Amino acid sequence: MKKKQLTVAHLQSRRFGVGMLTPTMIVLLVMTAYPLFFTVYYSFTDYNLLKQLRKPANFIALKNYTDLLKNEYFQQAIWNTVKFTVLAVVFEMLIGFGLALLVHSLTRGQKVMRTLLLLPYLLPTVTVALSWRMMLSPNYGIVNQVLQALHLPVYNWFSDIRTAFGMLVLIDVWQSAPFVFLLLYAALQSVPQSQYEAARIDGANAFKTLFYVTIPNIKNSLALCALLRTIDSFRLFDKVNLLTGGGPANSTATITQYLYNFGISSLNFGFGSAGAVIMTVLVLILSSFYIKRAMG
């Protein structure tokens, strides 16, 4: 009798769990699986919203993919995106990790430093982009005014092919390094103090403590930070769209900017969907390195 009551209670508990999860699963399927399926489907068609008001989309197999991969502008956008992602993630990881170590080592003022360092990350991207555009303006920007006062050369930062790409990397690092700092600072709190004490007793210097105690304990957090920043950096659009529009001479064009110009703006959703699939595959390839490292 008692066993039967336990079985009934277990079944009721399972039904309750399934009932609570079902609405969430339906929302996820509608918001994620459905758009993903149709993105892949439309990538094999010539679906254009304006044309399809009159006639249905035609199946064109891999034509969108071959047109994209042969397009020099798209090839340049892929290279720019990969280069931006690598540079941004490397600098953000180094700076964020350095700041986390610095704040973690402080005996006083940690709360104040945490708050100040997080401010750039809390600002909306549009606000960050417009603020930097004003500061780097060739006419009234404070940066050029300081350079002029020091008798140094000035630049049209976002219109000069020598500086535009570097400025985008700088702005992204300035805004996103605090995110890395926050995650790694939290990870440093979990490192056992007993290991630091053992390292000190063994006579390990700061360098050895860092490489043999700190980093091994937070390696999973480092891999997670790198993964999250890689995915986010690869999707770069807003800063490029607001500051350079992909110029000058396509030197700052990214995959998302290209898809916006030639897919979304022209309502050529089939072409844009193929680009989105290619971008997703590239993100998965880059992310697999971090996942493999973390699992290993």
Q: Give 211-223 pLDDT, tens digit per residue.
A: 888 888 888 888 8
- Number of domains forming the structure of the chain: 1
Residue 48 counted as domain residue: no
In a domain, 277, yes or no: no
Is 33 contained in some domain? no
Is the pLDDT at 1 greater than 70? The verdict is: no
pLDDT at 265 > cutoff 80:
no
Confidence grade of residue 94 (pLDDT, cut at 50, 70, 90):
very high
Lowest mean pLDDT among 99-103, 108-112, 156-160: 108-112
Find the mean pLDDT for residues 224-244. 89
Residues 6+ apart with CB under 8 A from 225: 93, 96, 179, 180, 183, 184
Q: Is residue 175 part of a domain?
A: yes
> The domain containing residue 190 runs over which residues?
71-265
Mean pLDDT across 111-118: 87
Q: State the pLDDT confidence band at 76, using cuts at 50, 70 and 90.
A: very high
**pLDDT given for residue 168 in this prediction:** 94
Which is higher by pLDDT, 21 or 81?
81
On whether residue 14 sits in a domain, the answer given is: no
The average pLDDT across 19-47 equals: 82
Q: Is 132 inside a domain boundary? A: yes
Residue 63: the pLDDT is 87
| pLDDT for 128 | 92
User: Does position 210 have pLDDT exceeding 80, yes or no?
Assistant: yes
The 3-state secondary structure of 44-81 reads: CECCCCCHHHCCCCCECCCHHHHHHHHCHHHHHHHHHH
CATH assignment at residue 154: 1.10.3720.10
- 11: confidence class by pLDDT, cuts 50, 70, 90: low
What is the structure's pLDDT at 271?
A: 85
State pTM to two decimals: 0.84
Task: Assess if residue 219 is contained within a domain.
Answer: yes
Tell me if 140 is assigned to some domain. yes
